[in-house]
Amino acid sequence: MARRARWQSVHTRTVEMCGAGREAQGPRPGDFILTHGKSWTSRLIRFGEGLRYAGAERKFARWNHAAIFVDAEGNIVEALGAGVQKRNISVYKDTEYHLVRLENVSDDDRRQECEFALHCLRDRYGYLTIVSIGLSLLTGSKLGFGVDGQEICSALLARALERTGEIFPRDPWHMMPADLAKYFEIEPPGPEVSKGRIPERNEGVQTRSE
């Protein structure tokens, strides 16, 4: 059997761009998006992506945020500055995002993805993970650190996707949105496509009972 390439997903998928003003139709639980944030942590992630990816691969640094669908109603779980929260995809209706529809994932694996993401609700944001990634990028060190119960958006998604059999070439704790874009071969749109209006970090946050 041929050995799987280092940067190659085990899943087939369809990637769909949703420009500002266009919402995705019919995402399934376990599918995910790459999109944009504007908090200072999002800006730090974008800076780190620029250090990690240069030249032809710099295109993967278009996105600095990620979220996972957890039900058929379009609700998503994402790590924001205030912690891991649940919102609806409608908050990104005026924002460009790319939807990744996973095609050969079993219902049981999707359930495990979503259960993991929902279990992380109210976890704190992984500020130490951001520091760890930054030091790694600046010094070339392979030392990584974080705190259990803290998440950044892309690490939360990568850890959920591990439930489907994905084996990432980088520790999931250190995965950035650009890493996910490269891994799933997501091509950015042309420069004429606007990022649109990026929602506020607390906009549309649902309570646990919702």
pLDDT of residue 210: 54
pLDDT of residue 3: 43
User: Considering only the top CATH level, what class is 13-183?
Assistant: alpha beta
- Which amino acid is it at 127? Y
For residue 33, give the nearest of 86, 79, 81, 69 by alpha carbon.
Answer: 69
Residue 19, CA distances (Å) to 64, 94, 148 in order: 16, 8, 35
Phi and psi angles of residue 173, each rounded to the nearest 5 degrees, phi first: -60, -25
Name the residue with tokens 């993967």: 60
Residue 20, CA distances (Å) to 95, 124, 137 in order: 5, 29, 32
List, run by run, the mean pLDDT of 10-residue segments along the chain (210 residues): 61 94 94 93 88 92 97 96 95 97 96 98 88 79 70 95 93 92 94 93 74
Spatial contact of 31 and 71, defined as CB atoms under 8 Å apart? no
pLDDT of residue 149: 80
pTM over 0.75: yes
pLDDT of residue 132: 82
